Structure 1
């Protein structure tokens, strides 16, 4: 007799009293119900715990309290406690907008026993400015693609194989930015990555987050790239290209936000890591122009 695959839903929550019930509602509405939902209250200072404890659930709902340590540690706490064959991640301020999300993903898991990651398309709402649909479909070497950028449509869209997630140690808490991408890369190295081609989640994002912390996120990105290169060593030429690709979004958004001081700092780092690859890219034009102007003064 075929065993039904079980799912543990993992929700890290920090000061989520306004959104957590909505997120839980979207889980309870699934046509394929999970075996359990684990909410990890990450040291919230609001009434997140009270909302979860008062929530009426038809399936086991566990609340775990931890001191504030960031979403990676919170998710890892839930991963350690999870009993399901698969882990479904959901952030407390996101929504599963398709009632068939888990059913569609479990169908893929049954069809592809070598899968370690199954995501879906995602609707992303950006700063009241625009809405776009993330539609990355992973048909090629997912690990190589993840070396360049995060091709997983959203963390809240992911269904990941529990055994493999635990095998690689879950999320790396030393990274406060990009820890999800590193986990997906680790999983891609060990199995297949598939995508359900339906929009199943809704997420709000902010474009200012990337550069708002100055060089802090860039430091984390550099740590991430080093860890990715350890997973899959490449030629020196390819390494330079990878560094450039991983700096590009910071360069672009620093210019867009008119953070020219920050742009110049990033440009120097980019040149040191990628050399002529940076000088030949369009992102070097402002940097070269500023150098020429400074020479003429």
Structure 2
């Protein structure tokens, strides 16, 4: 049986110091066949030159160059629209993925679909190892890591994301940089909302959960993140978009008092 084609999607913006290692980790994946789509979102530094130098040596890499910065959500949507693969996995421009990441996630996703999901949409995430500027490290867990049982799914996941309600095996991050799903799932949901220049991964997962999506995960950290602080990653910017997610999905929050509490709690968290 022929292996399914997996698209590795990578967006880049002013990442001249990190994009080479991110692309190298994509090329080093054990799974074949792959295609790699890189969107340079109007970088002002030498990112495009670094990408072009690598792409010239590998016919598996396709490069899309934006003339104006569109934001990560729109750039990811370009990848979704261009993807030829049956499955799509996202890498970030400053992260490194372990060589077996794509293979592990694909096997987990396909097995979960067969055993539990039936026709429901599925997104598989992996834990991440985060490295901070002071050299400290932590593991960011993901949800749904208990194999052999049904993973968190549906409205329970959406409400946990929005208001923090408890759920079985339901805690942990669902960042896009650790995400894999079928291309058809991304297209069915209309991709990422371009209005969210931050926290678009969170908003996407709320919509996936509302569509009945399942969230199986992998406990081993297959993504290594170098943590940085940029304007887009500032706490003030993040608070703005968390509040926007609550407003967009307000109809799912059972009562006005809980909605107000969630907004006030968000304000406190980002002080």
TM-score (norm: length of structure 1): 0.74
Instruction: State whether residues 31 and 103 of structure 1, in contact with CA within 8 Å, keep that contact through their aligned partners in structure 2.
Output: yes
Of 132, 147, 157 in structure 1, the residue corresponding to residue 162 of structure 2 is 147
> Equivalences for 1:81-230 in 2 at 5 Å?
81-96=82-97, 98-113=98-113, 114=117, 115-128=121-134, 130-138=136-144, 139-140=151-152, 141-148=156-163, 151-190=172-211, 191-206=213-228, 212=234, 214=236, 216-230=237-251
Q: Deviations along 1:188-230, whole A, 9 cap, x unmatched?
A: 223211101111011122468699574x543322211112334
Identify the structure with bigger relative contact order (alpha carbons < 8 Å, sequence gap 6+).
2
Q: SS state of the match for residue 192, structure 1?
A: coil
Q: What is the rounded CA distance, in whole Å, between the counterparts of 2:173 and 2:133 in structure 1?
A: 21
Where in structure 1 are there 5+ consecutive unaligned residues?
255-297
> Equivalences for 1:227-266 in 2 at 5 Å?
227-230=248-251, 232-250=252-270, 254=271
> Equivalences for 1:272-283 in 2 at 5 Å?
none
Superposed CA RMSD in Å reads 2.5
Q: What is the rounded CA distance, in whole Å, between the counterparts of 1:85 and 1:28 in structure 2?
A: 18
User: Could you say which structure has the larger radius of gyration?
Assistant: 1
Partner of 1:64: 64
Where in structure 2 are there 5+ consecutive unaligned residues?
145-150, 165-170
TM-score (norm: length of structure 2): 0.81
Q: SS state of the match for residue 263, structure 2?
A: helix
Q: What is the rounded CA distance, in whole Å, between the counterparts of 2:215 and 2:180 in structure 1?
A: 10
Q: SS state of the match for residue 10, structure 1?
A: strand
- CA displacement at 1:33 relative to structure 2: 3.2
Structure whose residues are more often helix by fraction: 1
- CA displacement at 1:32 relative to structure 2: 0.9
Moved more, 219-228 or 80-89: 219-228
- CA displacement at 1:15 relative to structure 2: 1.5
Change (3 A) 1:196 1:34: farther
Q: What is the rounded CA distance, in whole Å, between the counterparts of 1:211 and 1:11 in structure 2?
A: 18
Instruction: State whether residues 145 and 151 of structure 1, in contact with CA within 8 Å, keep that contact through their aligned partners in structure 2.
Output: no
Q: SS state of the match for residue 105, structure 1?
A: helix
Q: SS state of the match for residue 125, structure 2?
A: strand
Change (3 A) 1:121 1:222: same
